[in-house]
Structure 1
Amino acid sequence: MDRDPWTPTRWARNGKVELAYDTFVDRCAGDPLLLIMGMGVSRWWWPDGLCQALSEHGFAVARYDQRDAGESTHLPPTATRSPFTALLRRRGEAYTAEDMADDAIAVMDELGWKSAHLCGVSLGGATAQRIAVRHPDRVRTVTSIGAVPGDVGGLGTLRFIHLPSIPRLVRMNYPDTKEGTVEATVAIARFCASPHQPFDEASERLRAERLADVGTRDAEAQSRQIGAQWNGAAIDTITAPTLVVHGEDDPLIRPRAARVIASRIPGARKRVLPGVGHDIPEPVWPTVAAEMRALADEHSRTTDRP
């Protein structure tokens, strides 16, 4: 796209936390859809092409930065500054997963949306599940991509993680410079991509320069997000129509996570994408958009019944 397809940044507030969000300008009307990005990284990681496809399928698309990511409020440092250490702790030090779920509701309130379809990737997928548990009346459908079950934590999470991937991530350490940010972003993109598909480093480097997202190397912010503990009900209580999407070649989260989520949420459908890693590459944008449209239509048929 030659022009910026997004509105200027707007702000919502949940207590002392300010949340940055914007909306896709090509469609002001349509079914409200809120996008939730993964651990530590900004909303700018959502591919514009995917958002265009979603818009063409009748969605009014908005995206926001979770707390401790992008332009949203970053919380003060805590004692735990490694995301892997934080993952194994029994309690979060900065905030709870319920707080993160409530952030999305604050954004929806600012948008004037009484309810919305949710789509989250990785940690954003877990957040979407938690929102559906905590605020069922605000959620039309849930699409969870490359995520673990939203009600697991600590050692239970390790059942769904490719453990050999952890040393690769731990070794990623880049300087606090513009060049370091670009290198970290390229490294994360390479890690997330399917190992069975060619990696276009030149294209990813251009994208990294455009993103300028320091979240890829901000281990402290990542640790606060991943350390946020969920104390709510189980995902078995989700009543919204749910789509669980997972890359067959995901190097971080095992596809069994998708099987478990789909088996526990009543009526959930599962879609495993061949040749896809811990990302949403361009070849599958039409598939993801069409699946989400079908899910939304299912919700409409259910709610329109006399």
Structure 2
Amino acid sequence: MPTSSTSPWGPVQWATNGPVNIAFDRLTEGADGEPLLLATGLGANRRWIPDELCRMLAARGFAVARYDQRDGGDSTHLPATSTTNPIAALFGRRGSAYTAEDMVDDTVAVLDALGWESAHLLGVSLGGAVVQRTALRHPERVRTLTTMAAVPGDSAGLRSMRYVRLRTLSKFAGLKFPDTPEGDVRAGVEVFRLLASPARPFDERAAREAALRNKDSGLHDQEAQSRQIGAQWHGAPIEKVTRPTLVLHGADDPLIKPSAARTIASRIPGSRLVLLPEVGHELPEHSWSLVADELGRLVDAEREKRAA
């Protein structure tokens, strides 16, 4: 999990959606490229998307920006609800903090703040569901759609259960660490361990170094995760997605079954499925080049279609 000693990111900026402020920043490299917005997963802040992957994307012609979901990272955290456990939220015992449509509109607020009329979207895990929904709710803002390690964007609650490995989710929900910097580091290491591909030896030292660089309390903030996972979608089914779509999924994902990716690819017209070998619910170094190449291939095809 290497990183540069000098941050390639510009200063944090803010987008506003009603009472919610959404934190985002831009990669300083490749600023004149095709706009690409990255959406992160459950509880995780935007800094978990590896810098070197983002630099690879910039080298392939993308202007890269990333943002924190509401209730994650530097974005607004909402008031507590009666549901404080992600498993309970998944089963439908949820509060009414906000909807999935609200999270989609956060994405569009970031595009507005960036000055991007439209962009390519890449969402990982929960972010994958969010970008699918963005392509449904605001198709004019989406050039291409890449969803990774995600469930179908129109599934929720019990309908999601068929795609989730409950044993892993229960372990994830059972992580208990103190709300301290060291607790954040320990949580980061254990989340890395839990979500890594079992086909590769787990590098605990590298995981701890990554967690030290990015002490993210969101990885063990179950109340915030419950609000995120409990946000319900009321919109169209994913068969209505009209944007060029790439579906990526770790072949060894221990949290979301690859069948979720196969379902998405079968239901979104014209989409393409790529299973990433020796990848879990993560973005390990050996996958970066393949991910960047596949996004480049998707966008090249879309650009040729626009030029025709």
What is the TM-score normalised by the length of structure 1? 0.98
Is 1:107 the counterpart of 2:110 in the alignment? yes
1:58 matched residue in structure 2: 61
Q: Where do 1:89-104 residues align within 5 Å? A: 89=92, 92-104=95-107
1:279 matched residue in structure 2: 282
Once the two structures are TM-superposed, the CA of residue 90 in structure 1 deviates from its matched residue by: 6.7
1:269 matched residue in structure 2: 272
Once the two structures are TM-superposed, the CA of residue 69 in structure 1 deviates from its matched residue by: 0.3
C-alpha distance 271-289 of structure 1, shift in aligned 2 (>3 A): same
Secondary structure of the 2:187 match is helix
Once the two structures are TM-superposed, the CA of residue 170 in structure 1 deviates from its matched residue by: 2.9
Q: Is the 8 A contact 1:91 1:229 kept in 2?
A: no
1:82 matched residue in structure 2: 85
Is 1:193 the counterpart of 2:196 in the alignment? yes
1:221 matched residue in structure 2: 224
Q: Is the 8 A contact 2:82 2:94 kept in 1?
A: no
CA RMSD of aligned residues (A): 0.9
Tell me the distance in 1 between the aligned counterparts of 2:150 and 2:92.
Answer: 19
Once the two structures are TM-superposed, the CA of residue 220 in structure 1 deviates from its matched residue by: 0.4
2:149 maps to which of 142, 146, 152: 146
Secondary structure of the 1:94 match is coil
Tell me the distance in 1 between the aligned counterparts of 2:301 and 2:91.
Answer: 38
Tell me the distance in 1 between the aligned counterparts of 2:195 and 2:126.
Answer: 14
Q: Is the 8 A contact 2:144 2:302 kept in 1?
A: yes
2:36 matched residue in structure 1: 33
Is 1:202 the counterpart of 2:205 in the alignment? yes
Residue deviations 1:183-241 (CA, integer Å, cap 9, x gap): 00110011111011011111111110110110011000000000000000011011110
Q: Identity of counterpart residues, as a percentage? A: 55
1:161 matched residue in structure 2: 164
2:137 matched residue in structure 1: 134
Mean Cα deviation higher: 172-181 or 260-269: 172-181
Tell me the distance in 2 between the aligned counterparts of 1:22 and 1:170.
Answer: 29
Unaligned runs of 5+ in 2: none
2:70 matched residue in structure 1: 67
2:48 maps to which of 45, 49, 72: 45
1:211 matched residue in structure 2: 214
2:174 matched residue in structure 1: 171
Tell me the distance in 1 between the aligned counterparts of 2:270 and 2:285.
Answer: 28
Is 1:180 the counterpart of 2:199 in the alignment? no
Secondary structure of the 1:186 match is helix
Tell me the distance in 2 between the aligned counterparts of 1:46 and 1:233.
Answer: 29
- Following TM superposition, where does structure 1 have runs of at least 4 consecutive aligned residues deviating by more than 4 angstroms? none
Q: Is the 8 A contact 1:120 1:145 kept in 2?
A: yes
C-alpha distance 90-150 of structure 1, shift in aligned 2 (>3 A): farther
Q: Is the 8 A contact 1:83 1:219 kept in 2?
A: yes
Residue deviations 1:111-160 (CA, integer Å, cap 9, x gap): 00000000000000000100000000000001100000000011010000
